[in-house]
Amino acid sequence: MPGRIMAKAPRTDFRCLADVRLYACCYNVSIMRPSIDVIIPCLNEERALPESVGRLHEFMSSNMAEYSWSIVVADNGSTDGTLEAAADLAERFAEVRFIRLQERGRGRALRRAWTESAADVMAYMDVDLSTDLAHLPTLASAIVDDGYHVAIGSRLLPQSRVVGRTLKREITSRGYSLLFRSMFFTPFRDAQCGFKAVSRRVAHDLSPLVLDNGWFFDSELLILAQKCGFRIREIPVHWTDDPDTRVRIIRTAWEDVKGLLRLKFGGVGKVRHQLRAAGKL
């Protein structure tokens, strides 16, 4: 009718947590605290696991009160007492649980933990806690408050601080960064830092399409996310090298190169097609 203003129904097809929070503010709707699961993938870490989970639990108890949070230990094929240590931690802390995978591979462990989680944000970090935990709230806030789909810690930004890293590993890391950036023109620099968070959408829609089950999982996820239009924030971190790292540089580098070539020659396009066909892009 002329002169009559029809009220437009508010949108509810939210694409990220930031949209939900904005909607709640505008329409005075109360919402539950956002939830976050922090995954710790581990292989034969019976000694390091109790101390690391204890430190992480203490930090989150003191600094993540605005979240409903859990710590998930993902034991992927350990043959020592890691599973028993995880079970003990779950008994000790109500916020800790664990999953067990028979097959090894960090990517496999993350995919399983993420796809089974119902949290709003899913993060992961290496069991050695090489990245300063003080960066965790910023990582989560990038997704919850700023609307990013992926947030990653970076050792390669000018503001990053790296302690104790050998020249060999530094050269290898920067060389790999230059390689994937020149191949895919990605804005992020550090694809391999073990300190990342993703939204539920990325965890459930994109991670099942990542083919790699090992160390290349991170790179593949990030490249696919960027090429499929997901927003990525890279955060400079304070990172302390673990001299007991079990990464085999030569073998890992070769697997990385093979993975990059797979993505370059058809891999990215295939995933885009799958997401579009499923109505998720």
Specify the pLDDT at position 59: 98
Tell me how many degrees the CA angle 94-99-105 measures, rounded to the nearest 5: 140
Per-residue pLDDT tens for 168-181? 889 999 999 999 99
Handedness of CA 108, 111, 113, 115 (dihedral sign): negative
Strands 68-76 and 96-101, sheet pairing: parallel
CATH topology of domain 17-165+190-207+231-248: Spore Coat Polysaccharide Biosynthesis Protein SpsA; Chain A (3.90.550)
The share of the chain scoring above pLDDT 70, in percent, equals: 87
Q: What is the mean pLDDT of residues 246-269?
A: 89
CA 218 to chain centroid, in Å, comes to 8
Per-residue pLDDT, 142: 98
Question: pLDDT grade, residue 251 (50/70/90)?
Answer: confident
- What's the rounded mean pLDDT across residues 250-265? 92
Q: Could you tell me the CA-to-CA distances from 71 to 58, 68, 94, 188 in Å, in that order? A: 11, 11, 10, 27
Rounded Cα gap, residues 163 and 121, in angstroms? 28
> Do the bridges between strand 238-240 and strand 195-199 make them parallel or antiparallel, or are there none, so unpaired?
unpaired
The pLDDT value recorded for residue 246 is: 63
Q: Look at residue 268 and tell me whether its pLDDT is greater than 60.
A: yes
Interhelix angle 48-63/136-144, nearest 10 degrees = 60
Tens digit of pLDDT for each residue in 116-172?
999 999 999 999 999 999 999 999 999 999 999 999 999 999 999 999 998 988 999
Average pLDDT (28-38) is 79
pLDDT value, residue 247: 65
Average pLDDT, the chain: 90
- Can you say whether residue 211 is alpha, beta or left, with left for phi > 0 and alpha for psi between -120 and 50 degrees? alpha
Helix (H, G, I), strand (E, B) or coil at 179: helix
Active site residue 218: yes
Which string of DSSP letters, residue by residue, matches 263-279?
A: IIIIIHHHHHHHHHHTT
What's the pLDDT tens digit per position in 164-217?
Answer: 998 988 999 999 999 999 999 999 999 999 999 999 999 999 999 999 999 999
pLDDT of residue 252: 84
Q: Active site residue: 37, 218, 241, 242, which one?
A: 218
How sure is the predictor about 8, in pLDDT bands with cuts at 50, 70 and 90? very low
* Domain positions in the chain: 17-165+190-207+231-248
